[in-house]
Each structure stands twice: as C-alpha cells, then as structure tokens.
C-alpha cells in the first residue's frame, strides 16, 4: 500500500509539471551552485525525500566558470548562500529548463510576497531576465 501511495504521489506531481502549472514544495537547501542555482532536499510526504536542482526563475547571476567574472560570481553565490543555505525554503516550480533543472520561485517563508529571486536582483547580485520555458 505504501508503494502504491508513493507512485500516485509521484504521478500527481509529474502531471502538474507536464501542464506547467505551479507546483508547491518545501525543502532544505543543501548546496548553492551559483547565484541562481541551488540544490534542495525536498520533502514529498510519507517520509520520502528527493534531491532537486532549482534554477531561480526570471533572474541571471554571473556563472562560476573559469574565465568569467568569477569575483562577482562568487559574491553572488555567497549572497544566495547567506539567504538560503541550510534553511527551509518554500518554492513554486513551473517546468524544467534545457539542463533538467526545475525552474522555481523560492521563498523564505510560505507567507512571503517577495521571492528570493527578487531579493537577489534588488541586492544587485543578479539581473532580471525572462526566459521562455
């Protein structure tokens, strides 16, 4: 019975993603890749957790690649880490990007009206960019 419930839960989640409707999750940020990408240990219910890589929606931060503006990329990574690393976050996903990352708006509290995405832009560590999914 536990396995059937788990399969139904996964199917329900995937069905929401296929329709590109926002789907809400809670998880703990376990790694910050750069100023617009982070890994989250997401709670799916029934004691099930999943590792998810999130791409913060509608922003772009400097990349952590050699040869790029690595000083600003590192500052951006630190800013996102200070906001979210080892903290519980709430996020709304609306599809995946071409690299398989879930595109999401991330919040520090479920009642927040300002996302972490917006905070990163306001603090100057990322720029607003609208990507077509």
Show the domain range for 107: 2-128
Is 75 domain-assigned? yes
Look at the block and give the residue holding tokens 């910050």.
32
The domain that holds 54 is classified in CATH as: 2.40.50.90
What sign does the dihedral 128-117-114-24 (CA atoms) show?
Answer: positive
What is the pLDDT averaged over residues 95-122?
95
Backbone angles phi, psi at 64, to 5 degrees: -90, 35
Is 49 domain-assigned? yes
More confident residue, 9 or 83: 83
65: confidence class by pLDDT, cuts 50, 70, 90:
confident
What is the pLDDT averaged over residues 6-23?
52
The residues that bridge with 89 in the sheet, in sequence order, are 27
Q: How much helix, strand and coil, in percent to the nearest 5, is found in the chain?
A: 30, 35, 35
Q: pLDDT tens digit string along 81-93?
A: 999 999 999 999 9
Enter the pTM of the model.
Answer: 0.80
Is 133 domain-assigned? no
């Amino acid at each position: 019975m536990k396995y059937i419930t788990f399969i139904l839960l996964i199917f329900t989640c995937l069905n929401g993603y296929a329709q590109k409707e926002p789907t809400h999750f809670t998880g703990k940020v376990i790694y910050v890749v750069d100023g617009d990408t982070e890994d989250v240990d997401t709670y799916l219910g029934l004691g099930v957790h999943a590792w998810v890589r999130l791409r913060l929606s509608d922003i772009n931060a400097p990349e952590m690649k050699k040869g790029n503006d690595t000083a600003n990329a590192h500052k951006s990574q630190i800013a996102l880490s200070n906001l979210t690393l080892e903290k519980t976050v709430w996020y709304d996903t609306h599809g995946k990007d071409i690299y398989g990352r879930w595109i999401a708006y991330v919040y520090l509290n479920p009642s927040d009206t300002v996302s972490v995405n917006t905070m990163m832009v306001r603090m100057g560590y990322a720029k607003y960019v609208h990507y077509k999914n």
